[in-house]
Structure 1
Amino acid sequence: MNIYGYVRVSSTDQNEDRQMVALREVDVPEKNIFMDKQSGKDFDRPNYKKLVRKLKAGDLLYILSIDRLGRNYEEIQKQWRVLTKEIGIDICVLDMPLLDTRNGKDLMGTFIADLVLQILSFVAQSERENIKKRQAEGIAAAKAKGIKFGRPEKAVPDDFGKIVKAWEQKKLSLAEVLKQCNMSEATFYRRLREYRLLQAKKKV
C-alpha cells in the first residue's frame, strides 16, 4: 500500500502550509504529496491528474478537508466514486473522521460516509456560490459609489486642449498627437469625446 496526499490552494498567493503540516503529521512521504494552485470549480488540474494515474487499488489518499478536493457538488461525488469504487483506494479526510473509508466497510458505515460526503460537498458548492454572489454584490456596490475597477485611466496632459487644437488645424499628425499624449488611438478618441463634451457644457 502506498500513501499519498493531495493539497489544493485556490491561487498562487494562498498558503498551503496548514495542509502540508497536516499531511506530514500522518507520515505522508514528501514525494507522494501532490499540489495544485488553482480553483476548485473543476478537476482539470495537472497534478491531480498525475496523482490519479499513480493510484492503485489498496492505496491510501489523505486530504485535509473535502473542499480541498473540490467545490463542485457533482464533481466531488463523481471523483469520490472513481477513486473509491473504480480504482479501489481508501480516502481519509483529516478534519472529518467520518469520511475515512478504512472504517465502517459494512453497509451502515458506507451509508454514513456517503451521506456525510453528500452533505459536505453540497456545503462546499454552496459556499463557493455564496462567495461569488457576495463578490458580485460588492463590485456592484463599489461601482455605485464611483469606485472604478481595472487599469487606471490614462492621464490627459495639461496642454491637451492645445494639442487637440493643433491637430484640428492639421498642424500635428495623429501619430504626433498620440506620441505627445502617450495614448493609444482608441484612448485618444475617447478622451477627445470627453473633452469636447466638457467644453460644450462650459459654454452652456
Structure 2
Amino acid sequence: MKIGYARVSTVDQNEARQMEALREEGVDRIYMDKKSGKDFNRPEYQKMIASLQKGDVLVVHSIDRLGRNYEEIITEWRKITKEIEADIIVQDMPLLNTSQNKDLTGTLIADIVLQLLSYVAQRERENIRQRQKEGIAIAKAQGKYKGRAKKEIGKKLFEDTKARWQNGEITKIQFAKIIGVSRGTLYRILGEEKDD
C-alpha cells in the first residue's frame, strides 16, 4: 500500500500543494497533521506509523516531514525502513527513494544523502531560532517587544491554594494545576514573592 504523510505547521505553508503532490504519486491514503514538527506529538503521524506494514511505501514531500532535527529524522527513517521494513519516497529528493536502488551502492548513496539532509534540516531549525532571538532583541531595543502577556491569577484563589500547599494538603504540582499555571511559572511567582 502507498501511504502519504503531509504536515503543515503554519498558515503560510500550503497544504493543498502537498496534498496534490501526494495524489499525483498515487497514494492510497493520506495522513496530515497541522501542527509544528518540533516534537512527535503529532496524532496523524502516529496513526500513519502504526498503520505502516512491511512492503508498504511511505511518500513524503520533504525529508523534514519526518522530523526537525538530525536525530529525529535518522531515528524515524531507521524505524520505517529497518524495523517496519517499509520503503520511503521523498518527493523533493529522488536519491532517497528506498523502493529503487536496493543494491549496496544505492543503499550507501541513500544513507549518505540522508545524513547530509538531516544535518541541513537541523541547522536550518537552529538558524530560525537564532534569527528569532535576534529579532526579539532588536524589537526590545526599540521598545516594541512586550513578550507574552502575564497570566492573571485571582488573588483569593492564589492565597487559598497557597495556604493549602503550605499546610501540606497539596503538592506544588497540584498547586500549579489549581491556579492554572505551569510548575515553572509557579516557582517564579513564589520566588518574586520571596524577593518582595
Q: Please, what is the CA RMSD of the aligned residues?
A: 1.7
Distance 2:100 2:24 in 1: 20
Q: Whose radius of gyration is greater, 1 or 2?
A: 1
Using the alignment, how far apart are the partners of 1:133 and 1:148 within structure 2? 17
- Equivalent residue in structure 2 for 1:83, among 80, 84, 101: 80
Matches within 5 A, 1:47-86: 47-86=44-83
Unaligned runs of 5+ in 1: 154-204
Native 8 Å contact 2:69 2:121 kept in 1: yes
Aligned length: 150
- CA displacement at 1:104 relative to structure 2: 1.2
Change (3 A) 1:122 1:152: closer
In 2, Cα distance between equivalents of 1:6 and 1:137: 33
User: Where do 1:1-204 residues align within 5 Å?
Assistant: 2-11=1-10, 14-29=13-28, 32-150=29-147
CA contact (8 A) 2:8 2:34 kept: yes
TM-score, scaled relative to structure 2: 0.72
Report how far residue 13 of structure 1 moved.
6.2
SS in 1 for 2:39: coil
AA aligned to 1:122 is Y
Shift of 1:152: 8.0
**Mapped contact 1:40–1:72 kept (Cα < 8 A):** no
* Paired amino acid for 1:82: K
